[in-house]
Each structure stands twice: as C-alpha cells, then as structure tokens.
C-alpha cells in the first residue's frame, strides 16, 4: 500500500494514495480515507471540544480506518482516546498514526459491536460505510455522555430507497421537497428508540445534512423519566403530495387525518421520526467559538454551516421557494425578501442549512402563498 502524509487541523496523518487517475470510490482503497469529509471531521473536533470543555472524558472512534477522527481528537482536544478497526491494514495504520503524533491513544482490533458491548465510553463516534444501523444498539448501550454518528445511506433515509429505509430504521421515509430533513429526523428517531431501550435520553446538539451524508452530535443522559419525555418527541409527519400541505403529530399512536384538509387528496405518512429540535443553540455558539479559534482547513465553510444551523427554526419541515413560485406562476423573490414578507404577515421564518432555495416557517402553506402574492 502506497502512503503519503497529509495534515488536517494540527494533526499529521498517513493515508493511502489512490492509484493515479483512479476512479473508484475511497471505500475500495486498502484503508479508507475520504478527503471530502474534512469539513465533517473539523466540525466533529469542534463539537467534541465544546462538549468536553475542561473535562477529561473517554472517546472511542469505533470504525477508525486510518484513525483520523480519533487521532485528531487525541491531538487537538486531548481526550483519553481509543481507536478501533477490525481490518488488519487499518489497525497497523492507526498504530502508525498514533506514533507519528506522539500520542498515547489506544489502538484496538475488534468487531465494533463487541468492543461497544464490553465497555462504556463517555463519547462514542460511529462513522461507517453507509448505514450506522448495525451499530446503533451497541453504541447506545456503551455511551455515557455523547453520541456522534454519520450516515451516508441518504437514499434509504430520505425515501429514495424506501424499502431499505424501512428495513434499516423501522420507519417510513417519504421523498418530499424537504427530504434531507426527513432523513436526519428518521435517523434521529431510530437512535432515540435505541437509547430508550437502555433508559437513556438525548438532546440533539448539532444535526446536519451535507453533500452525501448526515451527521448528528447528541448529548446523552441516563434515567427512565427523561427517556419517557424524550419519547414524547417521536411522531409522524402527514404530507399531501397533491398540494404540499403537511402537519406533524406527536406520539406512536397518534391520530392521523385520512384526507388532506386543504385539497381533500390522500395524506401520506412518514415516521416514526424525531420531531424535536435538531440543534442546541447555546451549544452551537460554543462550537462556533471553537471553530473560530482553531486553524482548520475548512474553517470558513464550517462556520457558515454551523451559523445557518443556529438560525433555523425548529419546525420539522421546510418549503422550497421555487416549487411554491412555480405553482403561483411568479418569479421567485430573493430569499431575504421572502423571509421578510412571511414575517411581515405575522409568522416566524428563517433560512435553512438543508437547502439554499428553501425557508422554514410556522405559517400554513395558504398563508405563505397569500403573502407572496400580495
């Protein structure tokens, strides 16, 4: 395996060199490394640093590959780090990367689910090929304080591969105009239900969708009462593909309308999924502070993304401006103008990190249309 040394943050990492002109995905390299995930790792470092503060917490990078996430956390945050991968070549590279940065992090070579079932960690980071579903149960059993989870199986989560989404997450996703948010909420719903089995609860700190992946960072607490409260935030989204009407209902046995109250068309159901908030705004401000004070390759883009997350409303869906304007047969106004128009009509409104052409609001669709035509 040919390797080179690259730098992310203040950490040096030995990574495999893809053959010149290679057109295969990074997943088919002898050890996985995807430079396109630097933004995700930079934000991950900032989130873990913001969460840990001055505490000496244990952190596990369960699916390490080169070990880049764990090595960065050991080097740039200074936690007590364990890095695991069952692949022999990956394990050797993890050991070399720990040595290169002169860290005393621990390298393990176990089945991730075995490691997580045997030990508790304060922070558990799961960064799999595709779906995190096979690791959720063990991760939820192991974790004490914080879960960081990536999913790259966006098609099943968003409803593009519906049957696969149902199998992996025990929930029905719908391919709506707000499908990336649907995906994040289906993923959170599955994590929340796994945690509830261990009488644990979560509070989402920062959850986002970007390119081909979703990433969530969650604070975890123990206790059945809090876990019960958390389960109240699980529910369903009722969506009408005829007119775009949507409402959400809390609870696993919620009563759903059969017909769309707006156009009398058929209502489709998505869920069970997470209807609670996606971010903790105070935490996001700490993350912004971490991003601003660090030398990071993706600093500006990371700040922009987290900043958008702090500003967005907590409503579980959003509207695509172009779709609405196409139906109204009007030219789409600039986004800032739309937000002002909707606010002036007496509603809340914000941009969303999920899509540059969309906005969030608590206004019903008919009120949005009325405001835009005024």
Ligand X SMILES: C[S@@+](CC[C@H](N)C(=O)[O-])C[C@H]1O[C@@H](n2cnc3c(N)ncnc32)[C@H](O)[C@@H]1O
Provide the binding-site residues for Zn ion, judged by CB under 5 A.
Answer: 240, 242-243, 245, 260, 262-263, 265
Burial track 291-311 (b if 16+ CB lie within 10 A, e otherwise): beebebbbbebbbebbebbbe
243 binds, among Zn ion, ligand X, none (CB under 5 to 8 A by kind): Zn ion
Q: Closer to ligand X at the Cβ: 72 or 145?
A: 72
10 binds, among Zn ion, ligand X, none (CB under 5 to 8 A by kind): none
State the nearest-atom distance from the C-beta of 247 to ligand X, in Å.
Answer: 37
The DSSP call for residue 361 is: E
State the nearest-atom distance from the C-beta of 32 to Zn ion, in Å.
Answer: 44
The DSSP call for residue 352 is: E
Confirm if 236 and 172 have CB atoms less than 8 A apart.
Answer: no
Tokens of residue 72, six digits: 């960065």
69 binds, among Zn ion, ligand X, none (CB under 5 to 8 A by kind): ligand X
State the nearest-atom distance from the C-beta of 257 to Zn ion, in Å.
Answer: 10
Q: Closer to ligand X at the Cβ: 66 or 350?
A: 66
Pairing of strands 349-352, 200-210: unpaired
| Distance between CA atoms of residues 372 and 374, nearest Å | 6
179 binds, among Zn ion, ligand X, none (CB under 5 to 8 A by kind): none
Q: Closer to Zn ion at the Cβ: 260 or 287?
A: 260
250 binds, among Zn ion, ligand X, none (CB under 5 to 8 A by kind): none
DSSP string over 66-120: T-HHHHHIIIII--EEEEE-SSHHHHHHHHHHHHHTT--PEEE-S-HHHHHHH--
Preceding peptide of 265 cis, ω within 30°: no
Residue with tokens 């558990």: 124
State the nearest-atom distance from the C-beta of 1 to ligand X, in Å.
Answer: 13
Residue with tokens 């409803």: 159
Q: Which residues bind ligand X (CB under 6 A)?
A: 32-34, 37, 41, 63-66, 68-69, 84-87, 90, 111-112, 127-129
Q: How far is CA 345 from CA 225, 245, 340, 350, 364, in A?
A: 40, 19, 9, 14, 11
State the nearest-atom distance from the C-beta of 126 to ligand X, in Å.
Answer: 9
State the nearest-atom distance from the C-beta of 137 to ligand X, in Å.
Answer: 13
Q: Closer to ligand X at the Cβ: 110 or 307?
A: 110
Q: Closer to ligand X at the Cβ: 139 or 188?
A: 139
The DSSP call for residue 364 is: -
33 binds, among ligand X, Zn ion, none (CB under 5 to 8 A by kind): ligand X
Let me know how many helices (H) and strands (E) the chain has, helices first.
14, 15
Q: Closer to ligand X at the Cβ: 3 or 262?
A: 3
State the nearest-atom distance from the C-beta of 270 to ligand X, in Å.
Answer: 27
263 binds, among ligand X, Zn ion, none (CB under 5 to 8 A by kind): Zn ion
Q: Closer to Zn ion at the Cβ: 262 or 285?
A: 262
């Amino acid at each position: 395996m040919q390797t080179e040394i690259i730098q992310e943050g203040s950490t040096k990492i030995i990574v495999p060199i893809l053959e010149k002109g290679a057109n295969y995905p990074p997943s088919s390299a002898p050890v996985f490394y995807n430079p396109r995930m630097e933004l995700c790792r930079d934000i991950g470092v900032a989130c873990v640093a913001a969460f840990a503060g001055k505490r000496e917490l244990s952190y596990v990078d369960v699916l390490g590959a080169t070990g880049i996430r764990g090595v960065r956390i050991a080097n740039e945050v200074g936690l007590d780090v364990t890095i695991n991968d069952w692949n022999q070549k990956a394990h050797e590279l993890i050991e070399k990367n720990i040595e290169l940065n002169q860290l005393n992090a621990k390298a393990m070579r176990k089945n991730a689910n075995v490691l997580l079932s045997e030990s508790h960690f304060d922070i558990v980071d799961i960064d799999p090929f595709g779906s995190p579903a096979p690791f959720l149960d063990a991760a939820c059993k192991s974790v004490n304080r914080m879960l960081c989870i990536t999913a790259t199986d966006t098609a099943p989560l968003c409803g593009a591969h519906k049957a696969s989404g149902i199998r992996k997450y025990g929930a029905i996703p719908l391919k709506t105009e707000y499908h990336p948010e649907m995906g994040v909420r289906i993923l959170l719903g599955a994590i929340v239900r796994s945690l509830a089995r261990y009488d644990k609860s979560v509070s989402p700190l920062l959850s986002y969708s970007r390119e081909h992946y979703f990433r969530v960072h969650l604070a975890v607490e123990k206790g059945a009462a809090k876990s019960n409260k958390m389960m109240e935030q699980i529910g369903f989204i009722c969506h009408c593909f005829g007119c775009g009407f949507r409402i959400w209902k809390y609870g696993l046995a919620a009563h759903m309308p059969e017909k769309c109250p707006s156009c009398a068309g058929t209502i489709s159901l998505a869920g069970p999924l997470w209807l609670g908030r996606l971010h903790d705004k105070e935490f996001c401000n700490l993350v912004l502070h971490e991003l601003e004070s660090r030398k990071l390759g993706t600093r500006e883009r990371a700040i922009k993304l987290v900043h958008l997350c702090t500003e967005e409303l907590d409503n579980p869906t959003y509207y695509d401006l172009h779709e609405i304007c196409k139906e109204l047969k009007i030219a789409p106004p600039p986004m800032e103008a739309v937000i002002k128009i909707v606010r002036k009509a007496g509603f809340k409104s914000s941009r969303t990190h999920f899509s540059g052409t969309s906005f969030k609001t608590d206004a019903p669709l008919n009120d949005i249309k009325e405001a835009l035509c005024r």
